[in-house]
């Protein structure tokens, strides 16, 4: 299980991607706040993170890294616009966390084929399982 600092770091990373275009849309804010609630982060701490990001820390568990990557994929699809800058940030996040380059590229490619560019969790897990084995 990840500790509070790791949760804040992950949420901070997601906030940075949402603010990539220097404007966090209302839909993105609500999605991220739902993630914060799942991580048991208070609204006050969440709002503080928006203004004061926390440095990233490496997750130990491969499954936790895949879950965080999936959260970022979901976040990117929230506003219906996925820029090349956002794709690059997502790719770099995956690399930074130690996920397979091939799996990351495949997920980004598969996004184009799904409605609203949302890759179902089971598809994403299958992509990473192939590379992990």
Given this model, what pLDDT does residue 45 score?
93
Residue 94: predicted pLDDT: 84
Residue 43: predicted pLDDT: 93
Structural domain including 44 reads 4-132
**pLDDT for 47:** 92
pLDDT at residue 60, rounded to an integer: 67
Ordered per-residue pLDDT tens for the chain, 133 residues: 467 887 888 788 888 878 876 778 888 899 889 889 988 899 999 999 998 888 766 666 778 788 888 887 777 776 666 777 778 888 888 888 888 899 989 988 888 888 777 788 888 888 888 866 5
pLDDT of residue 61: 78
pLDDT of 25 reads: 82
Indicate the number of domains in the chain: 1
Contact 97, 104 (CB under 8 A): no
CATH assignment of the domain containing 8: 1.10.3680
Report the SS3 class of residue 24: coil
The residues, ordered by sequence, that sit 6+ positions from 76 with a Cβ below 8 Å of its Cβ are: 17, 82, 86, 87, 90, 117
Please report the pLDDT score of residue 42 as a whole number.
93
**90 touches 13 (CB < 8 A):** no
The pLDDT score that the predictor gives to residue 23 is: 76
């Amino acid at each position: 299980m990840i500790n509070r600092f790791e949760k804040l770091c992950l949420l901070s990373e997601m906030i940075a991607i949402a603010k990539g275009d220097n404007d966090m849309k209302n839909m993105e804010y609500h999605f991220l706040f739902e993630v914060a609630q799942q991580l048991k982060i208070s609204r006050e701490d969440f709002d503080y993170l928006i203004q004061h990001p926390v440095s990233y820390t490496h997750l130990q568990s491969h499954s936790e890294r895949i879950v965080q990557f999936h959260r970022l994929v979901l976040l990117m699809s929230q506003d219906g616009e996925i820029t090349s800058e956002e794709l690059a940030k997502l790719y770099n996040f995956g690399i930074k966390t130690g996920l397979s380059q091939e799996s990351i590229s495949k997920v980004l490619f598969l996004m184009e084929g799904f409605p609203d560019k949302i890759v179902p969790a089971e598809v994403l897990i299958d992509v990473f399982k192939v590379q992990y084995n």
